[in-house]
Amino acid sequence: MDYSYICPRMKIEFYKYQGTGNDFVMIDNRQETFNKDNTEFIAQLCDRQFGIGADGLILLENHPKVDFKMVYYNADGNQSSMCGNGGRCITAFANYLGIIKDKATFEAIDGLHHAMIENDMVKLQMQDVISVEKHENHLFLNTGSPHHVQMDSNLELLDIKSVGSRIRYGAPYFKEGSNVNFVKKLTEESFFVRTYERGVEDETLSCGTGVTAVALAMNYIGETEKNLITLHTQGGQLQVDFEKNGEGYKDIWLIGPAIQVFKGAI
């Protein structure tokens, strides 16, 4: 795609962050200079051939009551639902900017989140999950973003983009779609996860809301009785800590690294 006609004639400073390979263009938009309506330009910035390259773009903005506001866009340029690894990365970014030290409260599209930085790891509190839908061959739940979860013993060889795309666009999800997670049990407290993300329309190396959904789903169907689960992804290792609450879950924390890769201007 030719992006030349949509590039604004201004210099934009950006930072690149990644959380277990899930990478983001991060922009300090506290002065509100970034044009949030230019979907094509946001997609260009995320384009790996013609832009910076990322799974999504995140704006850090002022908030009247809490530390900051997180505005998240998928790689297709559209504002999206909650991104767990993005929430951990923006916490690290806020720390870098001096907005916070080791604790944060911020607003995202799904409400308020608390976060902590401990020994180079970022812990993000996710929203409570009220219920989990159990179907014949999969589970469905919303962890800030919608997630389809199914087990697959041949996960290493699975064509995630092809199979994930069919599920993402098929019944009952259709156009609105769902993220799709494939899971293989490793031990009583660890699972291997691969995720197809809507908005990226491909496999990502890691998905924060996805591994959160997997951890809860595996506990829900009795694949594990643990409440601290280790999730192995293509991009690294994450942990999810939670408490069972009737048919749902509460006090859910997503834990893992969040690293600044580089900064620049475009």
Burial string for 22-36 (b: 16+ CB within 10 Å, else e) reads bbbbbbbbeeeebee
Spatial distance between the Cα atoms of 137 and 43, rounded to a whole number of angstroms:
34
Write down the catalytic residue from 7, 46, 83, 89.
Answer: 83
DSSP collapsed to 3 states, 88-121 = HHHHHHHHHHCCCCCEEEEEECCEEEEEEEECCE
Write down the catalytic residue from 7, 46, 89, 207.
Answer: 207
Indicate if the alpha-carbon torsion angle 23, 25, 30, 34 is positive or negative: negative
Spatial distance between the Cα atoms of 91 and 116, rounded to a whole number of angstroms:
8
Q: Which H helix or E strand runs over 236?
A: strand 236-245
Whose CA is closest to 24, among 61, 63, 62, 52? 52
Spatial distance between the Cα atoms of 160 and 210, rounded to a whole number of angstroms:
14
Is 46 among the residues known to form the active site?
no
CA atoms lying within 13 Å on the CB side of residue 171: 0
Q: Any idea which residues carry the catalytic annotation?
A: 83, 207
